[in-house]
Structure 1
Amino acid sequence: MKLILHIGTAKTGTTALQHFLCVNAKKLREHGIHYATPPNEFNFNSIANTLLLTGLDKFRTFFLNQLKVAERDGAHTIIASSESLYSISALLEERNLIEQLRASIPAEVECRVLCYVRRPDHCLESLYNQNVKRGVIGAGLLGDQTRQVSLFTGDVIDFLKIIEGMLDYHRCLSIWREVFGSSACSVRAYEAALPNLIEDFVRHVLDREDISSFTQLHLRSNERISRDVLEYKRLRHEHITYSERNLERKIFELVDKIITSPNNNHEYLSPDERAALLSRLEPSMERLRTEFSLPPFPRFDLEAASASWQPYPGLSLEKRREIEHHYNAVQRQVGFRLERLLIRAASLTRRRLPFLSWLLDFARGSGIRRLLLEATSRFQ
């Protein structure tokens, strides 16, 4: 049995690829490939995120169950995808955790670790937008470990100070290569895989030249919200509780579709800041290119960038009032009011009646909570 462990990185089309693999799971089985996910999920992020909290027991159980299913279906290859695996190793330098992860996979399983990487400054800006949109540093990076922290209110440089370690691709991927073996680890350049990363994956990872038989998805995952709405949301984070972050994200996504003349300037770094970051990381990028046989990242021209750069002017009072008006209107919708009521009732119950936490955990695990939220969404 062969295992392809796709570990990310984030913001390299990972979510779209995972949706593709999930939708085409039946077709993949015809080719002897089993796509491993928990029930009703399109990746195994939820399993990967438990590594820091509960250790490897859940991962080991999940993988052994998936191995049994693959063998039962006559598959020769298992694909498992979670960008959280790269993020954990990058941010926490958890070599020991990766060693334990490898040891939990039966020795007779041939492992291959795959990672896509993107020019670091572009990865930083895309991650910054996503994490401000979601509300919390670490959403998708550190999983449930972020439960006790406040929502992020900093700018892109504050964000860079937190996640710069994960942009050192060579250092992070060297850990995986040392644990799994040089021949077992491969890295592909995100930019070189464009315009169709899914096609790149199918052809170069699955060794299938003809992808026409697979269901093609025409969706864009994790789309950005406009700069003005993002800035307004960032400034509001000190007033938003962690438990209501997903609710707020849905509200702001609707607000973003309503506002007039949205500002879509998503160059969060100035040309000088961009050049400084790339200069610091150049030795790492060069080692990565050499050791993993990667094509060069797209070249950055500081002079041309400085000549064309238009800094974000900031959130004007007029635009702030417009966003605030639409925010207040959207959040008053019945569905959102009911959802907020459910969230606050659950939080109050946990604080005042902690012995009932098991009931709330059961409701969440059984899908009751999801059904209630789906019911409230009909009012939105």
Structure 2
Amino acid sequence: MLILHIGSPKTGTTALQSFMSKNEDALRAQGINYMKAGRAGPAHNQISMATIRGDADAMRKALAEEYLSQPDMIHFASSETLFRFAMARKLGHVFDPIFKGQTRVIAYLRRQDSYVESLYKQHMKKGRLEFTKDEFVKEQTPKAGYNAILSHYARHFGGDDCITIRPYHRKVLKNNNIIEDFCDLIKVPDMSKMENIQLDANPSFSVEMSELLGILGAQDGTKARNIARILFEQQPEGVFGSYDAFNARDREYILATLADDREKFISRFVDGDGAFFHPEPGEFDTPFDEVADMRATLERKNKAVEAFIGAYEALHAEEAAAPPAPAAPPSETTADTDAQTDAAETTTADVPEGHLVVNADALPPTWFEEIYPGGTRPGFYHKVGAYAASFVDRGPEKLVVSFDNLHNAGDTRMRREPWAQKLCADHGWSHLGIYAQAPTWFRDMDLIAFMEKLAADGFFARFETSGFAGTSMGAFGALTFSRLSPGAQVVAFSPQTTLDTDKVPWEHRFAKGRAADWTLPFSDAADGIGEAKNVYLIYDPFDDNDRKQAKRLSGDNITTLRAIGLGHKSALVINRMGHLKMVMEQGLNGTLDPSAFYQAIRDRRAIFLYRKTMEGYLKKQGREHHIPGFTRAFRMAKRRAAQAGQ
């Protein structure tokens, strides 16, 4: 049997595909084959691409051969690029007749006004501004019917009964979770040992932010993607949103226009009355207030502009602090990261003759270039369950051991770098990087045994000096495992000491981390921190939980550096200031001077994330009346900083 998941767009497809890709071995052991044919990454976008490139016959053959080679397996493929009328018409080009009567097509569908809205926001994000919103709605709504697409799938694969429709809304999904809902739908026997992934892997920007990113992306796609990355890190107000592009009048028009299509696809493909897809009773009875709608739109736009400017400034500071990147070879060009998603709109004519399109995330990481068989350094890579380690031996003078934070956990890119990779490479320091593919805070007996064996084999003792570093979850790793290398320097940003609820009953963050096994060794950083030579704890004392975690550590070897207003993202904000390299260099060498640190972080007054963190503290303390004055002072400080830099 073939299960073909066709989206639709913006229905948790990225999260689902990441889960399937990450757990393909575990799924195969349970009789489910996440097909390799048609898949260059987590998604089977190559199926659509084959019809464009003109090699549909090769794709048709590859899909059929893999399917027939394992007849007892349930085969599974997923791509939201298949949810297009143009693609649905060409199913026979890539799917052999053997799949007829043997295929179950699954589609998660939004209510149609929400679907048109998601298309509009994607349009804005990609800089396609040739339409006004009203023009887009009138032009695209008639094309947004579901019945025609689904009819082609039914005709090709064996009738209406081969189509399964699931409404896409958190209140409908099992446990509000697309992954659990889908696995329940296809009857995955056992999910208990599978690696989970972070949901909202592809969250939606607000329409206002989508438009700003689209304008910038039309001029500089790389800069737009970096701005988006910073916005994900900063999480400022006014950046993400759903159901925010269309007003009630737009929605009423869309649903009325598609009423006939809606009745047809519900009667043919939806179990029950399809109430989810209809307007709710009385939904459009309230007269539309155009003034209130305009006021809300302007408020959202102002928030988006402010967040965008803050991210742009952060990127400018980041670029100013970084050395220039080497020029790419003239025979290569980098593909836009949206290329596969836009498969139906891309042609091979878009690629200059003689050029190779390379996805940067598919290139090997820089540390691997040093230790691969043709590299210049000794080293190793070792995978331990949901964790992994890479080591580059750059000499016996200094070893740095770094640990992933929660932001890195679950990253499936091939070009995966350990935390502090560039710093270590630039200084010629040997580097052991510990990677996490799950947010379980290094609570894994196989990983612990691996680290203990390194120590027992004299690995850490080979080096004249050693340093351990990380932030948040990574800081816990650095603190607790540093005892394996007595005399180490430790740099811990927003440090956590344990999530053992018996020891920190007030700690209610990091639910998945708290659910890990805290009876294992190395579960409390306070137990062995005395083995370190110097421990630098960098945290915001206004963050109650971070302060309590840091207070659990004491001793003459500890230097407390209070980073007021940096919140839980202390390393990120210091990096935005351009001082992370200095703090890491001096901390890992045991020479970090508190007075120099405090002088450096005065620059936080020009960082947008600092402002939002302080405003949050004021609001939490019931001192909202101080926020306007603080905001004015922040803006004046930014202007003075900008003038001083000119």
d(CA) in 2 for partners of 1:217, 1:120: 28
Q: Is the 8 A contact 2:44 2:79 kept in 1?
A: yes
Per-residue Cα deviation, 1:322-373 (whole angstroms, up to 9, x for no partner): 633541440563498856954998459xxxxx6752xx35x66995487697
The reply to whether residue 24 of structure 1 matches residue 17 of structure 2 is: no
Larger helix fraction of residues: 1
Superposed counterparts of 1:265-344, under 5 Å = 266=242, 267-294=244-271, 295-297=274-276, 299-300=279-280, 301-304=283-286, 306=288, 311-313=296-298, 320=305, 323-324=308-309, 326-331=311-316, 333-334=318-319, 342=328
Letter paired with 1:13: G
Aligned equivalent of 1:122, options 89, 96, 114: 114
Match of 1:111 in 2: 103
Greater CA drift, 57-66 or 252-261: 252-261
d(CA) in 1 for partners of 2:4, 2:246: 33
d(CA) in 2 for partners of 1:366, 1:316: 32
Q: Relative to 1, partners in 2 of residues 1:30 and 1:314: Cα closer, same or farther, differing over 3 Å?
A: same
Aligned length: 343
d(CA) in 2 for partners of 1:246, 1:326: 14
Per-residue Cα deviation, 1:62-115 (whole angstroms, up to 9, x for no partner): 3145336635xxx4211011111112xx2x3752x122233x353688222222
**How much has 1:316 moved relative to structure 2?**
6.2
d(CA) in 1 for partners of 2:253, 2:107: 25
Match of 2:500 in 1: none
Match of 2:400 in 1: none
SS at match of 1:4: strand
Larger strand fraction of residues: 2
d(CA) in 2 for partners of 1:291, 1:355: 47
d(CA) in 2 for partners of 1:319, 1:5: 38
Match of 1:36 in 2: 35
**Percent pairwise identity:** 22
Q: Is the 8 A contact 2:57 2:94 kept in 1?
A: no
Structure exhibiting the larger radius of gyration computed from Cα positions: 2
Match of 1:142 in 2: none
Q: Relative to 1, partners in 2 of residues 1:218 and 1:346: Cα closer, same or farther, differing over 3 Å?
A: closer
Superposed counterparts of 1:1-380, under 5 Å = 2-37=1-36, 41-67=41-67, 70=70, 75-87=72-84, 90=85, 92=86, 95=89, 97-102=90-95, 104=96, 106=98, 110-133=102-125, 135=126, 151-152=128-129, 154-160=131-137, 163-164=140-141, 167-182=144-159, 183-191=161-169, 192-193=172-173, 195-204=176-185, 206-208=186-188, 211-240=191-220, 245=221, 247-255=223-231, 257-258=233-234, 261-262=237-238, 266=242, 267-294=244-271, 295-297=274-276, 299-300=279-280, 301-304=283-286, 306=288, 311-313=296-298, 320=305, 323-324=308-309, 326-331=311-316, 333-334=318-319, 342=328, 346=332, 356-357=354-355, 360-361=356-357, 367-368=362-363
SS at match of 1:302: coil
Greater CA drift, 105-114 or 15-24: 105-114
* TM-score (norm. length: structure 1): 0.73
**How much has 1:9 moved relative to structure 2?**
1.0
**How much has 1:209 moved relative to structure 2?**
6.5
Unaligned runs of 5+ in 1: 137-150, 349-353
Q: Relative to 1, partners in 2 of residues 1:232 and 1:86: Cα closer, same or farther, differing over 3 Å?
A: closer
**How much has 1:180 moved relative to structure 2?**
1.6
Higher RCO by CA contacts (8 Å cutoff, separation 6 or greater): 1
Q: Is the 8 A contact 2:101 2:157 kept in 1?
A: no
Per-residue Cα deviation, 1:193-216 (whole angstroms, up to 9, x for no partner): 352232222222x23466445433
Match of 1:146 in 2: none
Letter paired with 1:187: I
d(CA) in 1 for partners of 2:359, 2:25: 28
Q: Is the 8 A contact 1:193 1:200 kept in 2?
A: yes
**How much has 1:278 moved relative to structure 2?**
0.6
SS at match of 2:75: strand
d(CA) in 2 for partners of 1:343, 1:155: 40
d(CA) in 2 for partners of 1:369, 1:339: 17
**How much has 1:159 moved relative to structure 2?**
4.4
SS at match of 2:155: helix
Letter paired with 2:112: P
Letter paired with 1:271: A
Q: Relative to 1, partners in 2 of residues 1:185 and 1:55: Cα closer, same or farther, differing over 3 Å?
A: farther
Unaligned runs of 5+ in 2: 335-351, 370-414, 423-574, 576-646
d(CA) in 2 for partners of 1:321, 1:98: 46
Q: Relative to 1, partners in 2 of residues 1:93 and 1:208: Cα closer, same or farther, differing over 3 Å?
A: closer
d(CA) in 1 for partners of 2:263, 2:322: 49
* TM-score (norm. length: structure 2): 0.46
d(CA) in 1 for partners of 2:312, 2:288: 35
d(CA) in 2 for partners of 1:8, 1:318: 31
Match of 2:517 in 1: none
**How much has 1:263 moved relative to structure 2?**
5.8
d(CA) in 2 for partners of 1:63, 1:306: 51
d(CA) in 2 for partners of 1:274, 1:337: 49
Q: Is the 8 A contact 1:5 1:112 kept in 2?
A: yes
SS at match of 1:312: helix
d(CA) in 1 for partners of 2:166, 2:144: 15
Match of 1:147 in 2: none
